[in-house]
Amino acid sequence: AAGNLSAPSAAAAVTTPAPTPADHEAPTRPVKLRGKVDGSRAATLSWGGSTDDVGVTSYDIYQEGSRIHSVPGAQTTARLTGLRPGTVYTFTVRARDAADTSSPDSNTFDLTTATAPGAPASTAPTDLRITSSAQGKEYAVDLDWKQPETGGKIPAYQLYLDGRLTTTIVWGGEPPAGRASYRLTVTDPRGTRYSMKIRAKLPDGKWGDFSAARTVVLGG
């Protein structure tokens, strides 16, 4: 209290951590995404690892554009549970680094869970293919797909773009047999990315199961 100082304590040496390197680059794209179903409610995915100038901290699993699961960066497999029986799922994976920068999407991989006992067969269209081509200042997006077996003619389809209903496809005459096709014209700029899926109107008037989602990039 009088302001007198004691003798110094013993010295203690410390070393501060080295500075964390700046992370300026996004991770590379995960490759060779593949997987298998485990019954009607689970699946396991695996992929080739990404690289980053500092390091990959995690991998994010997406289902039709929504992140549903994450695993640490040292892990290149993921087990997904809580899936629905007899349902088509479309998965992609992105790598993420310490700066929270994500890689481009991996390849798309589709899985169909097993149907539950007594459940009806899937009514989802399959083998959906999408391409885009420039038409002046617009882009034509061409879709074609294999129609589901429904026991009757399919009078219409609903087309969803980025999770929202965009149009109802109604045939002008006799519904096509086998594969069906449709052209959508859009005015968005080159490089715009869409996720698209369709479902059929069944002969009983109800809407069937969704197809696997497909991604198209205008001009890509």
Question: Residue 56: pLDDT band by 50, 70, 90 thresholds?
Answer: very high
Q: What is the DSSP letter of 177?
A: S
59, amino acid identity? Y
Looking at the whole model, is its pTM more than 0.85? no
- Domains 31-112 and 126-217 belong to one CATH topology: yes
How far apart, in whole angstroms, are the C-alpha atoms of residue 156 and residue 203?
A: 10
Between 28 and 116, the more confident residue is 28
- Domains of the chain, residue spans: 31-112, 126-217
Whole-number average pLDDT of the chain: 89
pLDDT tens for residues 124-180? 999 999 999 998 889 999 999 999 988 788 889 999 998 889 999 998 778 888 899
Tokens describing residue 166: 């965009």
183 falls in which pLDDT band (50, 70, 90)?
Answer: very high
| pLDDT of the residue at 79 | 94
Q: Does 17 score more than 90 pLDDT? A: no
Q: What is the 3-state secondary structure (H, E, C) of 18-86?
A: CCCCCCCCCCCCCEEEEEEEECCCEEEEEEECCCCCCCEEEEEEEECCEEEEEEECCCCEEEEECCCCC
> Can you tell me the distance from the alpha carbon of 156 to that of 37, in angstroms, rounded to the nearest whole number?
31
pLDDT for 199 equals 93
- Residue matched to tokens 């005459």: 173
Residue 118 pLDDT > 90? no
Torsion region of 203: left, alpha or beta (phi above 0 gives left; psi -120 to 50 gives alpha): alpha
Beta-bridge partners for 157: 169, 200
> Among 43, 45, 49, which Cα is nearest to 31's?
49
Per-residue confidence (pLDDT) for residue 60, from 0 to 100: 96
High-pLDDT (> 70) share of the chain, %: 99
> What fold characterizes domain 31-112?
Immunoglobulin-like (2.60.40)
| Confidence (pLDDT) at 86 | 81
How much is the average pLDDT of 54-72?
A: 89
Q: pLDDT at position 178, please?
A: 85
Q: According to the model, what pLDDT value does residue 90 have?
A: 86
CA distance 8 to 147: 85
Q: What is the pLDDT of residue 57?
A: 93
Cα torsion 165, 34, 42, 59 to 10°: value is -80
Residue 123: band (very low, low, confident or very high) from pLDDT cuts 50, 70, 90: confident
Assess whether pLDDT exceeds 80 at residue 116: no
pLDDT tens digits, 80-99: 988 878 888 889 999 999 88
Q: Which CATH architecture has domain 126-217?
A: Sandwich (2.60)
